Amino acid sequence: MSIPFVTLDDPRYGEAVQVAPLVRRVIAKNPSKFTYHGTGTYIVGDGDVAVIDPGPMVDSHRDALVTALEGQRVSAILVTHCHSDHSPLAAWLRERSGAPTIAFGPHAVGTDWVEDDTPDEPDDEERAAAEAAEAAGEAKVEESLDLAFDPDVRVADGEVAAFGDGWTMRAIHTPGHTSNHLCFWLDEQRALFTGDHIMGWSTSVITPPDGNMRDYLASLQRVNDLAPAVLWPTHGAPVTDGKPFVDAFLRHRLDREAGVLAAVRAGTTMIPEMVKSLYVGVDKKLHKAAGRSVLAHLIKLVDDGLVDFDGAQPGVTTPYRPA
Ligand SMILES: [Zn+2]
């Protein structure tokens, strides 16, 4: 069964669009292979508002937030996780509004594994896009880390993160995409702001060591247990029928895990070969990210005692074999 992805036809860049009672969204112009049309910043409340994921350092987005927040008092800046398309403008908004930044914690820097983290060589198309963005005064933004981010307030799973007139926002800890990832639950609407945990248009990148497939699967189940009426991802359109959608995500990951295990049992030892056979039809530009997801599956399979590896630790250049 394939995942019933949803598309967003018109991002309406720079506009604060009322998407639900008490919920507005402004989309930043940072489209990419990881961000879809760009980062969607949510503004919850009227008068006293919480801002979820202020977004990337893009001038036009900062200006759009200034306009959107005119006459509003920002009481909380909620951050799902500190990838550079989510958190960098939090520092600016904090300075401007005096509101605290609220998150699970700073990014947990994984120092336990030495990895091949050399960036992909950009192809001509990407280079042209980057140059155009630079010429337009826009930063090139991808899924890099915002290590400068450290929240004023740390919230744990289930705690109220912010509230205002007619709305209460609760932190839901959903590790997997990153270990510090939070979703935010709007009690009154049974709505879940999912950050990058669940996106409407694509699966999420799970990249070890901070990304963890076992945690990710448990966090998907966690969302189903909440029985949300609607999911609001940072990237893309809302998902209004959450359960079948999340079920399809879970099945997709378990199918992939089975595929990785079958590849190892068939004698494929190296991740790039596994990606070639498992991601047929997927844009080559995404193969490196896919390799990280395969690594995440392999780490889980090693933990499960089904796969073994040569060397000190499982990595992207490690040979694998059946246990
Ligand atoms: Zn992310």
The answer, yes or no, to whether residue 121 has pLDDT greater than 70, is no
The answer, yes or no, to whether residue 126 has pLDDT greater than 70, is no
Please give all residues whose CB falls under 5 A of ion ligand 1, grouped by chain where several chains appear. 83, 196
3-state secondary structure of 169: strand
In the reported structure, the alpha carbon of residue 153 is separated from the centroid of ligand 1 by a whole-number distance in angstroms of: 20
Compute the distance between CA of residue 137 and CA of residue 246 in angstroms, rounded to an integer.
38
Confidence of residue 193 (pLDDT cuts 50, 70, 90): very high
* Residue 64 DSSP one-character state: H
In the reported structure, the alpha carbon of residue 187 is separated from the centroid of ligand 1 by a whole-number distance in angstroms of: 24
3-state secondary structure of 271: helix
Across 202-208, average pLDDT: 86
In this structure, are residues 184 and 86 in contact, taking their beta carbons and an 8 Å threshold?
no
The answer, yes or no, to whether residue 228 has pLDDT greater than 80, is yes
In the reported structure, the alpha carbon of residue 146 is separated from the centroid of ligand 1 by a whole-number distance in angstroms of: 10
In the reported structure, the alpha carbon of residue 267 is separated from the centroid of ligand 1 by a whole-number distance in angstroms of: 33
Domains, the chain, in order of start with CATH, read 17-242 (3.60.15.10)
Is the backbone of residue 57 left (phi > 0), alpha (psi -120 to 50) or beta? beta
Concatenate the DSSP letters of all residues of 115-155 into one string. ---PPPPP-HHHHHHHHHHHHTTB----S-B-TT---SEE-
Half-sphere exposure of 190 (CA within 13 A, CB side): 11
The answer, yes or no, to whether residue 133 has pLDDT greater than 70, is no
